[in-house]
Amino acid sequence: MAQDVTTQSRRKFLQFLAASPLCGAFAGLNPADAAAELAASPADAIDIFDLELTASGKIPVAHWGYLATGVNDDSTLRANRTAFEKYFVRSLRLQDVLDVDSSVEILGTRWPTPIVMAPVGSQKAFHADGELGSARAAKSRNHLQMLSTVSSTSIEEVTAAREAPLWFQLYTMGGWQGIRARLRRAEAAGSPVVVLTVDNVPGGDRHTLARAVRKDSRDCSVCHEGSGVAARTKPMAGGGTDERFGVTWEFLDRLQQETTMKVFVKGIVTAEDAERCVEQGVDGIIVSNHGGRGDDSGRGTIDSLAEIAPVVRGRTTLMMDSGIRRGNDIFKAIALGADAVLVGRPYIWGLGAFGQAGVERALDILTNELRVAMQSFGTRTIADIGRSNIQIG
């Protein structure tokens, strides 16, 4: 009984804090939507922000800080959300949208939605189910899943749980010896694509994380650090040498020669880099600023997409990551030229709140909101969504 009272008190406090004007003082550490409500079960979550609030009360504070943090004062993290507000949808009426088709084709495979599960490392830091819970949710909802180099669980185990191939996201610790070992394992596991991440460059301190760590007496660096000794304890990140090198265009060329997998580059934010990617023959570009956790540009990723899509012009697969929280966000990204979108924090909030069932709920919420957006805006299929559906206010 005492524990129930404590839990209820904590929930009331979190709801008060989320609605309080003081919440701005803890930007990035506490849930951002003041209307969010705690969910007693996955079905109780009305939107993604309910899952965020619920997860914030269950995930250890330092781990929550790692998940919530941006760079410096989190301005780029916030820009990823606020940038969506200047794009308005032009709604078409008298269209037959009784049954909409949200499916897309990515590299020859048909998926029920353009929602891709982004690579998020150390998922056992957020729930005991970890990447296996996410994989089982991906299987039950038939979503494409990407696995991080710093996953808590091996690619072999996660692939078995997903019962389908994963895309593998690549970090470069361990030098070429470590990289080759990871590539061979991913290839052997059936991964069709390796995603080279270039959007996690040193660009500033993660202050929200640093403040959260001070509030947590445990040493949880093994769970969530993305580099150094802690990262090498992860099943996909260990081994190799201490060789260090820059991730350059020459590195990308060598990677393309080193693997039989298709190569995507995640972290492109300018038209000139997108053009060079196309010229170098990459199989896909993911427009991303690492969820505001990389460089502190202050620019929302949706603005980068608006710059890049006219340059790519369908010459390679184009995806967008960072800031997607609602179905309308997905619609806007597709309208601006994305073939698909990645979501990271939203499904991890579901994982932290309720494990596998929470991930499923997060995916269902976004899928349902996308379908409602398509009906509201008069577009029956994803292919019907285009630049004419959107304008800058």
- The residues annotated as belonging to the active site are 290
With residues binned 3-state (H G I as helix, E B as strand, rest as coil), the percentages for the chain, rounded to 5, are 50, 10, 40
Instruction: Give 80's contacts (C-beta < 8 A, 6+ positions apart).
Output: 289, 291, 292, 300, 301, 302, 322, 323
Q: What's at 27, amino acid-wise?
A: A
Query: Judging by beta carbons within 10 Å of its beta carbon (0-12, 13-18, 19+), is residue 308 exposed, middle or buried?
Result: buried
Task: Report phi then psi at 89, rounded to 5.
Answer: -95, 135
- The residue assigned the tokens 């260990």 is 238
- The residue assigned the tokens 């640093």 is 210
Distance of CA 356 to CAs 44, 120, 137, Å? 15, 15, 6
Distance of CA 231 to CAs 180, 228, 236, 237, 319, Å? 17, 6, 9, 6, 27
Cβ atoms of 62 and 213 within 8 Å: the answer is yes
Cβ atoms of 57 and 48 within 8 Å: the answer is no
Q: What is the dihedral of CA 39, 45, 48, 53, to 10 degrees?
A: -10
In DSSP terms, which residues pair with 101 in a beta bridge? 381
* Residue 60 to residue 56: CA distance in whole angstroms: 8
* Residue 170 to residue 164: CA distance in whole angstroms: 19
Distance of CA 28 to CAs 24, 120, 211, Å? 9, 17, 11
* Residue 195 to residue 378: CA distance in whole angstroms: 34
**Residue closest to 50 by CA, chosen among 377, 383, 376, 352:** 352
Cβ atoms of 320 and 115 within 8 Å: the answer is no
Token representation of residue 378 = 């008069």
* Residue 245 to residue 230: CA distance in whole angstroms: 19
